[in-house]
Structure 1
C-alpha cells in the first residue's frame, strides 16, 4: 500500500498522514526490497495452565461460579489473579448455558420442592424493607403455596411448612431443597450429618424425607425456581400498596385461588387445581412441632398480654394465668393455653405501645366495684329486744311452796 501510494506521486509526509503511520516507518518500507513478514508471537505461559484441566472438570460438573473456583485453585497453589480465571471461564460458561437437560416428572404425591424469594416494599420515607416469600410447589400437579414472612429463620421455615401442609391437606413423601443453611448444615457431609438437627427432627415429626439438590445445579429444582419467577412476574406487579404483612398474605392467597392454581400450566397443559386431585398425600401430624418454643407471658388484669411492646387481648377467664405466644413471622400471632390449645390469634401490630382487643374476649365479664363494701368498714347489727321465756304454771307453784316452807 505504501509503494502504491508512492507510485501515485505522494510524498512520505502525505503517505504517513493517509495511513496514520510514522514518517520513519513509511521511509523504511519504501527503501526496503522485501515485503514485511509477520510472525505469530509465541504464547507466554500462564499461571493458570496447571489448573485448566481441573477448572474444566468442575465446570462440567456444574460449578460456574468464578469465586468458588478461585478459592479452590488458590488452595491448590494458584498465585494468579481472578481476571485470568474469568477470561478462561467465559467461553466455557457460555457453552454450559446452552446444555440441554431432560425434564424430570414426578408421580403423584411423591415430591414437593421448596425455595425462598426476596422482595422489597417501598416505605413512605423512601427506604425499603425486605420481605421473604416461602414457596412450596407440588412436583406432579404444580399446585403452589406461597407465604410472605419477616425472615428465613428455622422457626419461620418450619411454621411455613406446617401451614403449607394444612393448605395442601397432607404431606408428600419427599421434599427437595437447595443448600439453605436452615436445612443443610454441612453440604460436604453425607447421611444425617449433613442436615440441620432441628429441621431433621421436624422432618421425622411430619414423616417426610428431605432431599438436597445437587450443588450448582439449579435445574434440579427447576419447578420451584420457575414458581419464584412466576410469582415475581405475575403477582408482584399487581400489588401497588400494602398495609401490613398480613394484608400481603391475604392478597397472595387470593391470587393462588383465583389465578395461579386455576390457570392452564404451560408445561403440563393441565390446571394445577384439577391435577392436584391425583396427588395422594399422607396425613400430616396435627401436633405443631414448635409448641415447645412458645414465649410465656402472664395475662394482666385488663385481659391483655404484652409482646414486643404491644398489647393483645385474650379471653378474660385467663387473667392471672400464663399463656404462650407464637410469632408466625407472617403478620400474625397465636396464643396458647397451658395445655397447648390455641385460644386466640391476632394480626401482629407494628410500632410500639399499641393495643388490639377482641370484644368477644370480654363478653360475660362482670364488675362488682360499685356494689362492694370496703373490707375495713364495720358491719351494723340492729339492737335486738330481750327474749321472754314462757314456763308452765306448775313451775311457779313449786317455787311458791318452797318459799312458804
Structure 2
C-alpha cells in the first residue's frame, strides 16, 4: 500500500511517540485508521523516508477534517485563540460530527496562522504571550482566595475559604482557612501571613477584589482603592499593586499555590474544624520548603531565607481593620448585623435610634452616634457570631424592662383569690364552672339605636327618602 502525502505526513507525526515507547503500532493504527502492517512498514524504516509521490492525474484522498474545514475556519475568524478541545467539542455536540480530536488539532496547526494572517494579527498577538518577570528578595508577594466548598458542612459550617499569600522570589507559601471573605477576615489573614514570614514585602499584588478596590473603572483609569486597604498598607509600609482586568498571568505564582495546597493538604482528608485545617498546612510547609522548585531550580527553603531577611520589619502595634455600618435599634434592644442580633443597654438607647457597628474578625462593638456626658460612645461589645441566625444577648442590657412576672388571670367576676389562701385542688374545676355560669346569667341592658344617634349628634339612617314636589 502506497500512502498519499497527507496520510504519510500524518503518520510521520507518530514516529517520535513510537520510538519513545509512548504508543504501540496497534494504537497508532487505530488512531490513524491504517492497517497495522502499513504503520509498521513506515515507522520501522522499511518504507522510503521521502513521502511517496502521487501519480499524475490522481486526486488526493479526502480527509474527514477537510469536510468541516470551512466551519473550523469560521470559528477561528470569530475567535482566533479558540482551543482545539473547544472546537472539537462544538463540532461533536452542536453539529453531531464524528471526528477525531487529533485530526482537528493537526488541522489547526496549519489553519490558525493562515487565518491570523488574513485578519492581520501578528504572531505575538496570536500566541497571547506574556513577559515573565523576576523580582529581588522581599520585593513582592501575591494574594488570592480559594473556595474549598463544604468540607466542614458536617459540623455546621456551610462554606470554607482558603487565603493564600506567596512570596514571589522564593515561592514560599502561606495559607490559612476562614469562613468569610469580608474585609475584617481578609486583612486579619494578612497579619497572620506577615507573622508567618517574619515581615512584610514591599509590594502585594491583588486582583480586583472588592476588599481592595472600591469600584471597577475603564482600562487606563486610576483604580480607586478601599480606604481601609490604604490605611492597612500604610501601617505596614507596603504598596498595593492591582492587576489589570482579565490578566490572571500577573499572579500566576499564587494561583498555582492554591492548587498545590488543595492537592497536598486537603485532598483525601477529613477535618472537624478550621484549626485542624490550619494545623495540616503548618505540618506540610517543611515538606514544601524542602522541594526544588521547577522554575528557579533552587530549594524553596534556601531561597526563602534570603526572601525573609529582605522583608520589612513589622510595626509594634498591629492594625486591626474594622467594618463600619449604621443600623437601627429595635424595640427589643437588639441590633441586626450580618444576619445575627446583638443587644444594647435599654437605658442608653431608644427605639429606632441609629448606632454604629464596628466589626472585626472576632468582635462586634456598638457605638452611639453622639458621645455621652463622659465623651464615650461605646454602648456594648460582643464576640462575633459564627454563622447566621444567632442572638448574642447580655441579660444586664434588659434591666428595667418589664418581665411579665406579675401578670395574673381570673375567670370570675369576684376579687381574685389571695395568695395566702389558695383554693384546694378539689375545688378548682368546679369553681371555674360556677364562675362561668354566673357570668352567663348577668343581664345586659338593651337600648334602641336612636339613643346612640342622639348622643353622637348624627342623623339616623332611614330607607325612606322624601322628595319635594315641584310647585
TM-score (norm 1): 0.50
Return the TM-score normalized by structure 2: 0.44
Tell me which of the two structures has the higher relative contact order, counting C-alpha pairs closer than 8 angstroms and 6 or more residues apart.
Answer: 1
